[in-house]
Amino acid sequence: MFIGAHEWSLPKFDNSHATAGLDLPGLYNRLLNGRFTERTRLQAAGFLRNQLAQIDERACNLPESVDDLKGWMLATAQSATTQYSVYLAGRKAGAPRRYFSNRSHALYFLRSVAPTKLVDGAWLFGLMRHWSNPRLAHLVRTYVEEIGEGAPDKNHVLIYRQLLQRHGIDSLDTLDESLYAQGLIQLALAYNAEEFLPEVIGFNLGYEQLPLHLLITAYELNELGLDPYYFTLHITVDNTDTGHAHRAVQAVMDMLPKFGDTGAFWQRVRKGCQLGDAGVGTCAVIDGFDIEREVVRIFSHKSAAGQGAHSDYCRVAGRSVNDWLAQPAEVPAFLAALEKAGWIKHGEPVENSRFWELLQGTRAEMFGVFSSYELQLIHDWIRGPASADGRAYNTAASTTDIPKRPSFRVAARLAALQGNRHLGSQPTPDLLDSDLQTMLQELVKLDDTDQHKLLVRAMSPSLHWTPAGLHATRLFCQRIA
């Protein structure tokens, strides 16, 4: 049950579960996997308390009075679109891209923000078992739309997963721990929603507003021939008229206590809004790109598998490749030795580098060693400043036009003309899925109340993007329609 309406001071928790030496990726993955103990939930609650304690309330850009919230929302959106118009005018006048120096820079960004994007909407999940509360209607509807109402091509997390897979960004093992903080906040809110209700509402309020970085990111990804749909989908769905931004404001108004201390509740909402700025922000991630460092990271990570796999006649600067790869710390010197020996020619077309021929040539002995993301990084690293043209690593050097993905409306029209199913229509459940089969078998055994609980469980951050979760979401939407 939700916290009493007269008790809106921050709830007390035992932080001994959560503070010292907290493993952010570990806690994040336990929550995301959906199989965790009560101790893990308490750790997540303690993490939230620590994050809230670090917030400087003077930096909050929300109005002091909740009565000014709608004006704030409209002004925020107007500021973003005005700045975006200035950006577009600059680009038209010949200014370079503001965010992404080359294609690999954009892919690096997609990888770095993955821990946040892969839990998109999770902060609202904890409210789903209270779906029948009319005051939560806007928040429940927002969560259902975040997970695509059961349509695979609208489920935000599934779209992002497919984007990562398309570009060989499958492993997040070596991401910096700090990049998990924002995603962990969202999961912690998901599983502690009843204790942190005002913070959930405030987080949703801030996160659903239209930011400038979203507009620029979508534009530059499209320019680089990378699918911007995940980002453009947020631009449309978060609009201030009928979208999530509007609903977020209305949700605050709906949930303001009619009894007790409204002011204390609003102050907690304000702090919850500021949680959206915790962790490493979008622009900081973008600014943190260092292609040399990223290439060294990739080769160092590969060294464990490559060490011992080369013949003794493979020698660079008098040392065997196996010897070079025996110590990851030797990778920078190894790359320098390859360049000195002429295997890598920086600042020239990749076709001039013998090393590149090992990766992508007609007799590529190292074919399959590097993912497409890693190949793009090596490609852009070798080419240097010329990589600003955004050329894909597997595109011929003579290509001058970077392919762009058609808009979603164009794609939908083309699908209709070709006789394909309309995008967004209800797909047939994929029965080749153990969770889906189990769920369907269980549903027929349960009464209506327990059926609903099972559907909500399948709509969790760990499952909603799977065949079982998508089907459960469609059934849930039918029930609440």
Complete DSSP assignment for 324-386? HHTSGGGHHHHHHHHHHTTS--TTS-GGG-HHHHHHHSTT-TTTTSS-HHHHHHHHHHHHGGG
Same domain, 296 and 278: no
Same domain, 227 and 111: yes
Q: Which residues pair with 319 in a beta bridge?
A: 316
Question: What pTM, to 2 d.p., does this model score?
Answer: 0.89
pLDDT for residue 426: 54
Asked if 210 and 77 touch (Cβ cutoff 8 Å), the reply is: yes
Round the CA-based radius of gyration of the chain to a whole number and report it: 25
Asked if 108 and 377 touch (Cβ cutoff 8 Å), the reply is: yes
Per the domain annotation, does 6 fall within a domain? no
Which residue stretches of the chain have pLDDT < 70?
A: 1-20, 238-242, 304-314, 317-318, 362, 364-368, 398-431
Q: Taken in order 430, 433, 434, 439, is the CA torsion positive or negative?
A: negative
pLDDT for residue 424: 44
Per the domain annotation, does 243 fall within a domain? yes
pLDDT for residue 135: 95
pLDDT for residue 258: 86
Per the domain annotation, does 11 fall within a domain? no
Taking the CA of residue 239 as centre, how many other CA atoms within 13 Å lie in the half-sphere pointing to its CB? 7
Same domain, 295 and 277: no
Same domain, 430 and 299: no
Q: In the chain, how many domains are there? A: 3
User: Could you say which of 272, 287, 302 is where a domain stops?
Assistant: 287
Same domain, 275 and 316: no
Same domain, 364 and 436: no
Per the domain annotation, does 401 fall within a domain? no
Per the domain annotation, does 411 fall within a domain? no
pLDDT for residue 396: 73
Dihedral pair phi/psi, residue 319, rounded to 5°: -120, 145
User: 221: exposed, middle or buried (C-beta count within 10 Å: 0-12, 13-18, 19+)?
Assistant: buried
Same domain, 96 and 238: yes
pLDDT in tens, 143-162: 999 999 999 999 999 999 99
Residues spanned by the domain of 454: 426-480
Same domain, 150 and 192: yes
Per the domain annotation, does 299 fall within a domain? yes
Residue 280, number of CB atoms within 10 A of its CB: 18
pLDDT for residue 385: 96
Same domain, 277 and 193: yes
In our burial notation (b when 16+ CB lie closer than 10 A, e otherwise), range 421-434 reads: eebeeeeebeeebe
If phi > 0 it is left, if psi is from -120 to 50 it is alpha, else beta; for residue 384 that is left
Per the domain annotation, does 404 fall within a domain? no
Per the domain annotation, does 381 fall within a domain? yes
Same domain, 260 and 321: no
Same domain, 213 and 237: yes
User: Could you say which of 367, 389, 411 is where a domain stops?
Assistant: 389
pLDDT for residue 329: 81
Same domain, 265 and 375: no
User: Could you say which of 254, 287, 320 is where a domain stops?
Assistant: 287
Asked if 185 and 202 touch (Cβ cutoff 8 Å), the reply is: no
